Structure 1
């Protein structure tokens, strides 16, 4: 049943102009930064005389693309999650979901999985774009895989938080604004507490736990953090809908 709901959400994304528009804009922006990164690499490396100053093309271009991707998604994901539940409430179709022979867990997970599949298209696009560097240079596939996996977890966290806020209101715009503000705070918490990196506020920063992936490493503690973050907000969403169903 989760797969059926995910398929329905995925079809609705591609059936709406917004889904195609967001996908096209993101691909165009990421493609532009990829070309910018390649051109800048040749400009910088042509002036680096000493071998110690040279940087691998994978890291140089990868940092540019993955670095901008996480901030672009900060704006895109709230726009995609805002309608997942709030629109059901606004259109008064949420009671039909409550009365359907499926659990709230299946409903929430189905919507989450559908959105993740949609966002995975962009991650695959980024990965395929970067491996074209292998045509004329040896690249670090491990670095690309770690960054892609880290970005996938980061977008999963964005989506889980966005779905939760979508469950709180029947106004999609309000849900998008709340999601953006919360994600913005969670991303830049580490910068706010740069003077005290051991502060627990700095530790819950999403970007702090993405850093190891951005260096081409996979840290177990970061995997646990993202898993707990995603499961926490999906659980909160399920409880929010369950409380609403009990109230009738």
Structure 2
């Protein structure tokens, strides 16, 4: 069984679980409300802003903070979505069944990651359609919109990979969710500390999410930011694969 087969099986399970639908509905409702608040604040600020309610101003004032809100929401959603991925399967003895069927640890981890990421990216696609509804009236800056969307997608992928790694190491789903939440919030606290100090603080600044999100939200996609997110994804998945492979060796 390949990673894609594991992902398809996992997506079917997510599709029939009320938890995923409830979580997705709550997340989309919160994001819709945030978007309406952003548009309302932007329109009320128009008399004090130069220019019309169009151009890059709408993207910078509404769309970029809107995507940032989704990232902040995923700091909570991603641990909840991934907590059952491996820890729950282990408790239900389904991991043992997959291993008995000859599925490799890499296929298991990558399949779980793809399924959870597909769910969160589906929410992101729906979230991204809200600004597009007003595109005919606001004429957004498509370059900045695309850069912000890419950074958001990569950040969500990184948070998902962290959640998968925590689920691989934790004995219980609740512990996995707690660990992933703490890691994500830790990156946010570093982010806040870097902003309070007013800029780069060496390697600590490099670890901060804000360091790599802020340029993209302004419309600048830097290779070092792409590498940052890809490194987090790769490191988390490698650790998870090694953990699952180690369990196979001990089992």
Q: Pick the TM interval, shorter chain.
A: over 0.9
Matched residues in 2 for 1:150 and 1:190: separation?
Answer: 16
Contact 1:190–1:201 under 8 Å retained in 2: no
> Quick one: distance in 1 between partners of 2:146 and 2:76?
24
For structure 1, the 5+ residue unaligned runs are: none
Secondary structure in 1 matching 2:201: coil
Aligned counterpart, 1:159? 160
TM-fit CA distance, 1:11: 1.4
CA distance in 2, matches of 1:30, 1:84: 25
Residue in 2 that maps onto 1:225:
228
Question: Deviations along 1:131-171, whole A, 9 cap, x unmatched?
Answer: 11212121112211111111110011101111111011231
Q: Which residue of 2 aligns with 1:118?
A: 119
RMSD of aligned Cα (Å): 1.9
SS in 1 for 2:62: helix
Aligned equivalent of 1:41: 42
Matching of residues 171-190 of structure 1 within 5 Å: 171-190=172-191
Determine whether 1:98 maps to 2:95: no
C-alpha separation in 1, matches of 2:244 and 2:136: 50
Within 5 A, what are the aligned runs for 1:199-214? Answer: 199-214=202-217
Give yes or no for contact 1:127–1:144 (8 Å, CA) kept in 2. Answer: no
Counterpart Cα distance in 2 of 1:44 and 1:206:
29
The 2-side partners of 1:91 and 1:75 are apart by: 24
Report the Cα distance in structure 2 between the residues aligned to 1:136 and 1:204, rounded to whole angstroms.
38
Q: Which runs of 4+ in 1 moved over 4 A?
A: none
Counterpart of 1:243 (choices 231, 242, 246) is 246
- The answer to whether 1:128 aligns with 2:125 is no
SS in 1 for 2:138: coil
Aligned mates of 1:15, 1:51 — CA distance in 2:
49
Whether the 8 Å contact between 2:117 and 2:157 is mirrored in structure 1 is: yes
TM-score if structure 1 supplies the norm length?
0.94
Matched positions, count: 247
Query: Offset at 1:51?
Result: 4.3
Determine the C-alpha separation between the residues in 1 that align with 2:193 and 2:61.
Answer: 27
Q: CA deviation at 1:90?
A: 0.9
Task: Report the Cα distance in structure 2 between the residues aligned to 1:112 and 1:189, rounded to whole angstroms.
Answer: 26
Asked if the contact 2:64/2:145 (under 8 Å) is kept, the reply is no
